[in-house]
Amino acid sequence: MRKQSMIVVISILLLAGCSSQPSNSAPAQKPQPKAPQELTGRSAFQKVYIAARGWARDAQAYRLQSDITSDSKGKDGKAGVWHGYFASPSQRATKPYTWANGGVDPGTIDSYSPTNSSTTVFDIAFLKQDSDKAYEVAQKHGGDKVTAKNPDTPVFYILDWSQPTSELIWHVIYGTGREDAKLRVAVNASTGEFIRVEK
């Protein structure tokens, strides 16, 4: 009788020890979603430029452009997506690279002609002023009125070389497209000086 009681007690203790419910454990924490990463144009340019030089040693940029996303509306000169467009004279080819979510992805190779004015390459030494500075200048030349009237107005940035004036220009564009923009301001990417409000 004593032996049976002992077996019952041991069985109960074993069952209690094998209980599937953890004792005194903290509730499982859900992983917090990462905040969208945003960079200024110059910072993003450095990342896509390194990737482009891995593709072609003579790769030179001819345009840098930001994208508007649901998470990033381009305020303060920062964006969550940047596209860098590069040309390689030796390969007679162009190739875009996109920075987004902290990584760089290559695009499709296309043909390149040095005589095409839309793909005029520039020397990165001209890029001395960042997109946040360009935004600051644009705000002083009408941008502040646009954002005061509609704070949700998206802003995107295009950096390219102007052949007629031989200067690198930040185009700060208030709206979703270049053609129907509420305001377009050109800023010198070397000096940070206001150039003009673009029509």
- Domain positions in the chain: 39-197
**What pLDDT is stored for residue 199 in this prediction?**
76
Q: Which two tokens stand for residue 125?
A: 């030494």
144: left (phi over 0), alpha (psi -120 to 50) or beta: alpha
User: How far apart are alpha carbons 135 and 105 in whole angstroms?
Assistant: 26
**What pLDDT is stored for residue 91 in this prediction?**
95
**What pLDDT is stored for residue 1 in this prediction?**
52
User: How far apart are alpha carbons 69 and 182 in whole angstroms?
Assistant: 18
**What pLDDT is stored for residue 24 in this prediction?**
52
Query: Which stretches within the chain are classed as H helix?
Result: 2-17, 41-55, 131-138, 144-149
128: left (phi over 0), alpha (psi -120 to 50) or beta: alpha
**What pLDDT is stored for residue 80 in this prediction?**
96
* CA distances in angstroms from 159 to 77, 96, 125, 186, listed in the order given: 12, 14, 14, 10
**What pLDDT is stored for residue 89 in this prediction?**
95
* CB-CB contact of 142 with 99 (8 Å): no
CA atoms within 13 A on the CB side of 17: 6
**What pLDDT is stored for residue 101 in this prediction?**
87
Q: What is the pLDDT of residues 91-125, one digit of tens each?
A: 999 999 999 988 999 999 999 998 898 999 999 99
**What pLDDT is stored for residue 114 in this prediction?**
87
**What pLDDT is stored for residue 9 in this prediction?**
47
**What pLDDT is stored for residue 47 in this prediction?**
97
Under-70 pLDDT residues of the chain: 1-36
